[in-house]
Structure 1
Amino acid sequence: MLEVSQVTRRFGTNVAVDNVTIGIPEGQMVGVIGASGAGKSTLLRMINRLIDTTEGKIVFSGTNVSALRGQKLRNWQRDCAMIFQQFNLVPRLDVLTNVMLGRLNHRSSVASLLNIFSDQERAMAIAALERLGIERAAMQRAGTLSGGQQQRVAIARALMQQPKVILADEPIASLDPRNAQIVMQSLRDINRNDGITVVTNLHTLDTARTFCERIIGMQAGKVVFDGGPDDLTEAAARSIYGADGLEDAFSEAVTSTSLAPARPARAKETKEPALVGA
């Protein structure tokens, strides 16, 4: 269980995340939606400990993540893989090496400095690339790939960490609809086949309804919706995006799931929706 308890993050006088409390069971795929500035990215960065909480705590399987330091913090960031909108690959290195960099927190500092990878690690990296359908690009420089291919390389690198949780911060925001679909299907397959908890920030609610079994809506740093895809009605969307933001939230021109097939029935139960303050 990943537990976020009364977490607040302030930047000066600005409150980016405001007293958020959520619990995410192991193996769940969660979409966090909301307009720009709602606090989605800040929430994920606190979970991964890229930034600290101002108040509250984050607990994973009984460990207070928000208090970790040193090697224990590095171990958590290994177990909690982060995927970014801008991929964060090393463009001049080949794809295979970029994927193997996901093993750095599993290795000695000397081996890391010398960039020495074992045959087993190379085999793991190739298997991860095969899983994402981009093994043929293994020896290409990462900077020569398309955005969709680079994001799949980033997912393969995350798999090399053998994580317990994957956090994806707007992973499809810069992709065309077809590549966005492939990336979201890849994350859903990892969630279902490996049982890895996936929490992903998404801009449009069609994407969340298609791929996620649970949706959390944020507005002005607060959680204002928590429920299943079928519960994400126009009234619920209004509480997340406001009346002025509904057109963009529902627009097929900006959604990344316009090419996606209908969402299959969910195998897992989701809790009853909650409209905070409704």
Structure 2
Amino acid sequence: MKFELRNITRRFGDRIAVNAVNVEIPQGQMVGIIGRSGAGKSTLLRMINRLQEPSSGSIHFNGAEVSSLKGAGLRNWQRDCAMIFQQFNLVPRLDVLTNVMLGRLNHRSTLMSLFSIFSDDERLAALAALERLGIEQTAMQRAGTLSGGQQQRVAIARALMQSPKMLLADEPIASLDPLNAKIVMDALRDINEREGITVVTNLHTLDTARSYCERIIGMAHGSVVFDGPPSELTAAAVQEIYGSDRDGAGIDETMTSTSINIPAAQTSTEKQSGGIGTLASARA
């Protein structure tokens, strides 16, 4: 299965937010999109999910034109292409378990969705998703009582309940502290590697993109100006993406770093446990 953007453009009046973008993404890649604020990253993801309509161009997945879908076809695409937002988009007054099960709405009949009738299997699947992300103990808490890091993991669990073929994450760690940012990115990489789900995520930190993504797309002024592996993201490429400061100097990558020093003992334990388990147990 291949995902493809063909000459996709989005205009807001006289302003071009996304300008003639052409991208092909094979199934199973983990792709990071980087660029300055206003570069068009979020608009691009929202067009992929059809939350915003392209002004021109087309979007294709597995041979079908996604950009022409309507009605049930569009709902099915938004189920298969799950979206994770910077601000979580949970229902604060509902408990965590119900928020996660809401990811099944596009798999169910209208009547069952209207009355929030969930099966025992769906409840077990939701609990399993929460356990995988290390927050199963929050299942009966109101979502609004959780920390930002916990809420983002609930949002990821909800996305998993959609059984997606593609996962879009719009600045998923922008409002998180470094430790929770690592937990969330570890979770996204784990989903990509274990399920083979394509993950496309907007990121505002270069070190995160280098560490987690096998492919980086750099945007500037609505256009793609870099597309390649992290090893090819040179200082010259970074300057083309981010530009220079007012004195003409290139960007200092340490300004966008989220790096934290994990104690050696903790790092060793994390490796032995097979990935995100140890860090996911941190409660923040």
- Normalised TM-score (structure 2): 0.89
Query: Structure 1 259/99 Cα, relative in aligned 2: closer, same or farther at 3 Å?
Result: farther
Q: Determine if the alignment matches structure 1 residue 251 to structure 2 residue 254.
A: yes
Query: Which runs of structure 2 are paired with 1:113-132 in the superposition (5 Å)?
Result: 113-132=114-133
CA deviations 1:177-213 (Å, max 9, x no partner) are 0000000000000000000000000012111001000
Structure 1's consecutive aligned runs of 4 or more residues displaced over 2 angstroms after TM superposition are 245-249, 254-261
SS in 2 for 1:239: helix
Report the equivalent of 2:169: 168
Could you tell me how far 1:159 is from its partner in structure 2? 0.1
Are residues 242 and 98 of structure 1, via their aligned partners in 2, closer, same or farther at CA, if it must alter by over 3 Å?
A: same
Question: 2:192 maps to which residue?
Answer: 191
The letter for the 1-side match of 2:179 is R
In structure 1, the partner of 2:145 is 144
Q: Does 1:19 align with 2:27?
A: no
Q: For residues 102 and 32 of structure 1, what CA distance do their matches in structure 2 show? A: 25
CA distance in structure 2 between the partners assigned to 1:257 and 1:48 by the alignment? 30
The gaps in structure 2 that reach 5 residues or longer are 268-284
Q: CA deviation at 1:243?
A: 1.3
- SS of equivalent residue, structure 1 residue 161: coil
Paired residue total: 261
Output one character per residue of 1:15-45: Cα deviation in whole Å (capped at 9) or x when no partner.
0000000000000000000000000000000
Question: Residue type of the partner of 2:96?
Answer: V
**How far off is 1:130 after superposition?**
0.6
**Does structure 1 residue 178 correspond to structure 2 residue 179?**
yes
Task: Give the letter for the 1:250 counterpart.
Answer: E
Give the fraction of aligned pairs with identical amino acids, expressed as a percent. 69
CA shift for structure 1 position 233: 1.4
1:111-132 Cα shifts (integer Å, max 9, x gaps): 0110110000000000000110
- In the alignment, the residues of structure 1 paired with residue 23 and residue 5 of structure 2 have an alpha-carbon distance, to the nearest angstrom, of 5
Asked if structure 2 preserves the Cα contact closer than 8 Å seen for 1:96 and 1:138, the reply is yes
Quote the Cα distance in structure 1 between the aligned partners of 2:110 and 2:61: 26
- Give me the whole-angstrom Cα distance separating, in 2, the residues matched to 1:244 and 1:126: 48
Question: How big is the alpha-carbon RMSD for the aligned residues of Structure 1 and Structure 2?
Answer: 1.6
- Deviation track 1:144-194 (CA, whole Å, cap 9, x = no partner) reads 111000000000000000000000000000000000000000000000000
SS in 2 for 1:105: helix
Report how far residue 259 of structure 1 moved.
4.5
8 Å contact kept, 2:95–2:143: yes
Return 5+ residue gaps in structure 1 as ranges.
Answer: 262-278
